[in-house]
Amino acid sequence: MDLQKIANVVRGLAADAVQKANSGHPGAPLGLADIGTVLYFDVLRHNPANSSWANRDRFVLSGGHGSMLLYSLLHLSGYQLSLDDLKEFRQLGSKTPGHPEYGETDGVETTTGPLGQGVANAVGMAIGEKLAATRFNRPGLEIVNHYTYVIAGDGDLMEGISAEASSLAGHLGLGKLILIYDSNQITIEGSTELAFSESVKERYRAYGWQVLEVDGHNIPEFQKTLVQAQQNQAQPTLIIAHTQIAKGAPTKVGTAASHGAPLGVDEVVGLKTALGLPSDKDFYVPDDLKNLPELMTQKGQGMEAEWNQLFEQWTKENPQLAEEWNTWLDGTLPSLDEILTLFEPGTNMATRVASGQVLNAIARTVPNLVGGSADLAPSNNSFLHGEGIVSGQDFSGRNFSFGIREHAMAGILNGLALYGHFRVFGATFLVFSDYMRPSIRLAALMKLPVVYIFTHDSAYVGEDGPTHQPVEHTESLRLIPNLHVYRPADAEETAWSWVEAMKRKNGPSALILTRQNLPTLEKPNNWDFTRGGYVVRAEDKELA
């Protein structure tokens, strides 16, 4: 298979799509075509005929503006993305939106666009792989055994969320996480020298990562580097791939001008000429590559068929575990009705305390519920009692210590939810939900059933003062479309809020909880939590 030829076709498709749309980002796809081609046509274990195969390698394009790289690769490798779809790039209602959108395009693992989010998502996916492997693998029957790859650019690695997530990934020793750093040293304003002079290499070594360097346009060397990365199972790997933005463009290569605007007709002609593509044909795929989708689909189906044989043997030897696998994967929940009767009228407790009791009751019933807090578990009442804490040495626990990394926590939860198998929650003070907001918004866009526990919900926090007393936060969260926000008035409503959040499969939920005690209210005979408000105290005189 001529990988260089495929990479050049990817460049042509990307340049044509951006030019036809008259908007977009051609620079990154041109610069990353060699890397993307190696991944999709040589390295990734994936099945284009089944993009939800459980043991597929995950690929995340964190710099979502480079989406035409991903779309071109998906088309050529056989996913449900036609050449006509590529021609509809950035058009309303198309399968090829300006930034990749989970659920809208076959083969897209996560919605990316806000830089750095994809790095945190990939960390979450790698955590999911390790959790699932620990739970389900048996000697000689490793049904969970795959890698998570993420491409991130200079902008991604400037963002704080990527630093937070990478720090935790190193701490946890996520050896099947491979981050490919597209180091082209260009951002919108110009050279990265304007604002970015640190040694990324030394920073990631300090995080506990293996760091490798390679020419991102040397395909054989990049292939060797990936093998080296895969062989280190004790550490995540950062591959610093030195690339040129807009590689192949005659005058705009290596310039900021190629980042976020079409190359222009003449530049595209020059690009195609340099690449050996016919300059008078748009969206060109040569005849000898038109069978690529079929070949890659056959290859992927073979990989999945081989895995299915292993899975069948594992199922025969572990029938109860297999039943659990299926339940976890399809999201089936047991009845949670008993939890609704935990609290009697007159009970006086903070809703954060009630939440902790409900959470633990649910966890005893839902064994795939996992989560943690950004260093506030005792205050958030978010610890799962009797369950271990996930560490680099032991992934059998269900509690995460995210550290003081709220933004990474939210992005990682999205990655875990996308991975499948697990129901996830994260906790912090309500006032710090602002640190999580971009990831919460993405969870809502992707319809991920993440649960957020936000405690210390008002001025009743007290002596900590206004920096810790949320005033506007509940209303600002309610502004996010598809985020369900619950602010229970007592312990019983807290139980109902949790059950409703757990039942939800098409979006995230936020529980807004108190530090101060609240009495459990008497409810009317016809009370129904799902209908919303009810009369707590009726008028005692006739209304005029």
Please list the active-site residues.
406
Q: How far apart are CA 294 and CA 109, in angstroms?
A: 22
Bridge partner residues of 486 (DSSP): 511
Q: How far apart are CA 420 and CA 409, in angstroms?
A: 17
Distances (CA, A) of 529 to 302, 340, 489, 533: 50, 11, 11, 8
234: its two tokens: 């004790």
Helix 219-231 and helix 27-38, axial crossing angle in degrees, nearest 10: 60
Q: How far apart are CA 408 and CA 207, in angstroms?
A: 15
344: its two tokens: 């009697």
Q: How far apart are CA 451 and CA 185, in angstroms?
A: 38
Q: How would you class 436 by CB atoms within 10 Å of its CB: exposed for 0-12, middle for 13-18, buried for 19 or more?
A: buried
Q: How would you class 544 by CB atoms within 10 Å of its CB: exposed for 0-12, middle for 13-18, buried for 19 or more?
A: exposed
Bridge partner residues of 187 (DSSP): 190
CB 507 within 8 A of CB 449: yes
Query: Cβ atoms within 10 A of the Cβ of 278, count?
Result: 11
Q: Which residue, among 187, 161, 160, 166, has the nearest Cα to 178 in the 3D structure? A: 166
SS3 letters across 421-473:
CCEEEEEEEHHHHHHCHHHHHHHHHHCCCCEEEEECCCHHHCCCCHHHCCCCH
Residue 61, SS3 per DSSP: strand
Q: How far apart are CA 416 and CA 124, in angstroms?
A: 5
Helix 219-231 and helix 3-21, axial crossing angle in degrees, nearest 10: 100
DSSP structure string for 162-198: HHHHHHHHHHHT-TTEEEEEEE--EETTEEGGGT--S
Tokens 């409810």: give the residue. 523
Q: How far apart are CA 374 and CA 359, in angstroms?
A: 17
CB 499 within 8 A of CB 363: no
Q: How far apart are CA 86 and CA 285, in angstroms?
A: 12
153: its two tokens: 């650019």
Helix 3-21 and helix 265-275, axial crossing angle in degrees, nearest 10: 170
How many CA within 13 A on the CB side of residue 51?
18
Phi, psi of 203 (to 5 degrees): -60, -45
Distances (CA, A) of 29 to 155, 167, 335, 487: 15, 28, 48, 45
Q: How far apart are CA 421 and CA 437, in angstroms?
A: 25
